[in-house]
Structure 1
Amino acid sequence: MRNRDLSLDLLRILSAISVITIHVAGDYWSAVSIHSLEWQTFNFYDSMARFSVPAFVMISGVLLLDTSYKLTVSDLFKKKILRFILMFLIWSLFYTFVFTPPHNLKELLVSCFSGTTHLWFLKMIIGLYILIPILRKIVSDKQTARYFLIVYIVFSLFVYPLQGVNYFGIIYDQFIDNGYMYMPLGFTGYFIAGYYLKRMATFKKNARVCIYLLAIVGFIITVIGTGVISNAKGTATESLYDYLTPNVAMMTLGVFTFFNYRMPKIEFSDKMRRQIIKLSNYTLGVYLIHPFYVFILNRFHINALSMNPIISVPFIVLIVFVLSLISAALLKKIPVVNKCIV
């Protein structure tokens, strides 16, 4: 345990808390005036937490693309992919009856297979897991991995977001759709970037400072840009919140680099290390269960508008995180359930 690098565990915990922040702050994000202090506060918290999902994907890339972790195709499907498919169906069924109980079999099937808002993450992870044997080949050579990331940055982070922007849509149609440039899209870049940055790349101090400055710029673009675009359109607009945008990628790179270089330098006691690892192991369960508690608290009129959002958002995030953590820990103790639910 002393040799374990806790940077990924700590980042995973922060990412779980940040995902909850997104859902708590976003609950009433489009329900209040874009000119109000409440909206600006929600925008600030939501923008700040946008690195969370990409960071989760990068952590998975670090762990699963490492060839020292033996993973046959058979094990990949039996122990990973099928488990996540089952997990998706169970939680989707659960949230179907919690949020919008179906009136007939068709509604039930549509709801279960589409999944509630946050369960898209499981479908995305399943897709990435299917590609693991291919992606491992890419990261087996540093030059190939670097080339893939360059292509990803160009087509996924710059060209793809422009698909709906006036004449830039033509570029998208011609080079993405007509060029069938699908592989370097989506979250594959984050998956590979996690491994590349952790296992292959090294940044000197000056380079790290530049990365941190880029992260700050990314955050400023996200929070101010969202305000500007929303004001221009007269309605809350979340285009800059998209995980596949340069500004969010810049934030994610900065956060990942900070944890990668700074956290290993902190000395933790054995007791603290055990607690961090334990919390880290519960984060998937926290991710899956937390919308339920956001929903329940809302039913009791405890939400981001219950008081000043500057205070209410972190307060509710803390409550939801603790409740979700307790639930995840309890579910982890139940045989069979702990393998297919959390």
Structure 2
Amino acid sequence: MKFGKNYEYEKLLDEENSDNDVSDSYESNSVNRSRKNSHNDYSTSDRIDLSDNVHLIRKSHNDSKYIVINIDNDSSEVDEEKVPMIAKSKKPPVRTVSKIRLKQKPYLRPKLNRGKLQQKKKTERIYWLDCLRVFASFLVVFIHCSNMVLKPDIDYKTHNGRVLIVYCALTRPCVPLFIMISGMLFLNPQKKNITVESIFKKYIPRIFKCYVFWTLYYGIFDRYIVNYEQKKYEFGWELLIDTIKTCIISGSGHLWYLNFTIGIYIVTPVYRIVVQDRKMGWYMVALCSVISYLVPTVHEFFKIALGIDLQVFRTYVKNLVINTAGHYLGYYLMGYMVGSHVFVRKKHIFYSYIVGVTGCLLSVILRFISCYSFGENAHNMSRYYNFNVAMGAYGIFVFFKYSVNRFVKPFMRIKFFRKILSTLADCSLGVYLIHLTIYHIFYCFNFHSQLFDPLYWVPIYSVILYSVSFILVYFLRKDPFMVNVL
């Protein structure tokens, strides 16, 4: 095949601009040589060495194949082969035989904002557990408003006394619920941040600071300044020694929970290992329930109701040193085991509710039996370590885990409700610590829980006391010092 001096030439560009940059021109052989030399700014690997008598003619617009024409060959032989396109870019594209494929940039992951991730992870809360914490703190306020140990004294045989006994017995699961909440959070093996070091450097010092501050407050300020009992004190060495003993040894009544919390934190690393084996965890729950809760309750019932003293059996069981953290270790273990357990069948959840209701009713019945047997207001068979109280705490815990969780879940999609619930939960410990002095201040102004018929006034008064305590704690927590002791 012969061609004249003029022939068709297509300038080849890279794939990015191939649709717009390919142009046809008719030039002479000498002009073609100059165009060939104009591509010297590309690297050797990027250009095609076109000789004087070899040119490229594109077969079609969409075809990547080109015909190589040898002008000096008179035999009109046409050799067809695939030739890569000339690239403009200094970075040559990856070439293949049949088509041109540009080298793609590697996929770059978006940079993660670790601060936001940590904040998001920190804000992930178990909302039904927050509801349970708020409910437990309210029960603590309620039980102190209905407790006849506080002033004014009242006869348990009267209408007011019986109402207060019922209220006091029904609210007994308050402290066990607090312990179960702590067990669910601290015994979880998946939480890697709870170590021996963090417990002794973070958690125990915080509780100890709360204990020291509030022991001094109730031992000095609440006792001598508030002085709700209206006692007269004479300053002297005896009063000073008595104050020191009160602050160091006895302390305020409800602050015992802080001492217990420090003790349970100390043994937490041990029981975190124990509960990793589910069978061993349930075994410990059953063992503590029998030794710490069932046996003392049965012993008290036989002694009070039937007049049979099983002291030998009680003493033998008491000498079994398994209560590493007192009577309440079973609640601590039960909180994690029940909280992490999934009830497959609904009837098991229903049975748990029945256990809780039965335990609360037994607390009321056994409390009345105890009072009429001793002829006074007695707390026997309705203490925190009694088996019936444990039954009530278990039922309430399961109720919040399933029924309350299902109820509050739609509301937690709204930021306003989440904020309120988290604020109430964060202030629950402060409400527990400060509510008793608020009660004493109210009593100084003759505003107490027995001002009217306790059947309706005690719940109202408890709401008032809880609300005032919460508001006070909320604003006190804004202070850099008070936030560490509330």
User: Which TM-score tier does this pair reach, normalised by the shorter chain?
Assistant: over 0.9
**Given residue 12 of structure 1, which amino acid in structure 2 is its aligned partner?**
R
Query: C-alpha distance in 2, partners of 1:221/1:263?
Result: 24
Q: CA deviation at 1:184?
A: 7.4
Distance 1:234 1:203, change over 3 A: farther
Q: Is the 8 A contact 1:331 1:337 kept in 2?
A: yes
Gap regions ≥5 residues in structure 2: 1-119, 225-234
Name the structure where helix makes up a greater proportion of residues.
1
- Report the number of matched residues: 340
TM-score by length of 1: 0.94
CA contact (8 A) 1:28 1:304 kept: no
How far apart, in 1, do the equivalents of 2:465 and 2:275 lie? 38
Deviation (angstroms), 1:97: 1.6
In proportion to residue count, which structure has more strand?
2
* 1:123-272 equivalent positions in 2, closer than 5 A: 123-162=259-298, 165=303, 166-177=308-319, 179-183=320-324, 185-202=326-343, 204-266=345-407, 267-268=410-411, 269-272=414-417
1:108 corresponds, among 233, 236, 243, to: 243
C-alpha root-mean-square deviation of aligned residues, in Å?
A: 1.9
315, 328, 339: which is aligned to 2:473? 328
Out of 127, 141, 151, the residue aligned to residue 6 of structure 1 is 127
- Matched with 2:423 is 278
Does the CA-based 8 Å contact 2:383-2:389 persist in structure 1?
yes
User: In structure 1, what is the Cα distance between the partners aligned to 2:482 and 2:217?
Assistant: 14
Query: What residue number does 2:68 align with?
Result: none
CA distance in 2, matches of 1:12, 1:302: 27
Asked whether the 8 Å contact 1:12–1:56 carries over to 2, the reply is yes
Q: Which amino acid is the alignment partner of residue 188 of structure 1?
A: L
Picking from 200, 209, 217, the partner of 1:94 is 217
TM-score by length of structure 2 reads 0.67
Deviations along 1:120-140, whole A, 9 cap, x unmatched? 010111110111111101111
1:242–1:248 Cα contact (<8 Å) kept: yes
1:38-59 Cα distance to aligned partner (Å, 9 max, x none): 0111012111211111001100
Output the CA distance in 1 between the equivalents of 2:195 and 2:324: 22
- Among residues 191, 195, 198, which one is paired with 1:75 in the alignment? 198
Deviation at 1:218, TM superposition (A): 1.2
Please report how far the alpha carbon of residue 9 of structure 1 lies from its aligned counterpart in structure 2 after TM superposition. 0.3
- Secondary structure class of the residue paired with 1:238: coil
SS at match of 2:295: helix
What residue identity is the alignment partner of 2:262? I
Q: CA deviation at 1:285?
A: 0.3
User: What residue in structure 2 maps to residue 84 of structure 1?
Assistant: 207
Give the partner amino acid of 1:155: I
Provide the rounded CA distance (Å) in 1 between the counterparts of 2:366 and 2:194.
Answer: 43
For the 8 Å contact 2:184–2:339, the answer to whether it is kept is yes
Match of 2:443 in 1: 298
- Report % sequence identity: 26
Report the Cα offset of residue 163 of structure 1. 5.5
**Unpaired runs of 5+ in structure 1?**
none
